[in-house]
Amino acid sequence: MSSSLSLQTTPWLIRTPSSTRRMRLFCFSYAGGNAFNFFRWQEALDPAVEVCAVQLPGRSARIAEEPIGSLPALLQAVAPVISRMDDLPCAFFGHSVGALVAFELSRYLRLHGLSTPSHLFMSGCHAPQFRSPTRQLHTLSDTQFTEVLREYEGTPPEVLESRELMELLLPAIRADFAIAENYRYRHGPLLSMPISVFAGREDLNKEPGQVDGWQKETSGACQVTWFDGGHFFVNSQRAAVLEQLNAELTASLCV
């Protein structure tokens, strides 16, 4: 596939349209990430899959907007955007808090009688019923919170050292952490689509149910794929992640 991408952007989405598209893949980033984390994914996936990366308020071109730190408010804002694009089947991919958003968005869409994704890809995220206790890190001071981000190794050191950049980025990162740390699981009817779980071998996922517990959320199949690396294996093992993702999406297209 050509390395030249023709993007279409809206406030909420960055898309790479294709005349051969037969499915959309909506992508939700990890805390502090943005839609451009998925900028080059289209090149690695089947041309029949249109990558639609979700751009939340408070980041990139939306940096001046107030971030959304409440999951119910975020679902209410994102659901209409996704539901308006129901002319093709779709799948959701989310990493870390992005996976949590994608999962709860799927339940929200079903609850409101809207089209749901045909496949969920839950990456780097503990199963909702088996989440570890949270530390409320989003309430820390800027200095303390920055040091926590340094430990997570998901933010480049040069960004962490830039006071000006961190002043711009911290509100959105705090909002994402607040969504994850204030999350409370509620039992509901099982989803019916298959769930693919991507997990890092060195991530903090060793408690019972944190990985395979996703099976409790669907009546469909649940497949776990392990990758080398820690929590941000989605970046360090990008090629392997995209190879697996493309194989499963291609199989869905064949069905």
Kindly give, in sequence order, each residue whose CB lies less than 8 Å from that of residue 128, ignoring residues fewer than 6 positions away: 100, 103, 183, 185, 213, 217
Tokens of 96: 């870390």
Contact 112, 246 (CB under 8 A): no
The residues annotated with a catalytic role in the active site are 96
Residue 246 CA to residue 253 CA, distance in Å, equals 10
Tokens of 205: 């996922």
Contact 33, 231 (CB under 8 A): no
Count other C-beta atoms under 10 Å from residue 179's C-beta: 24
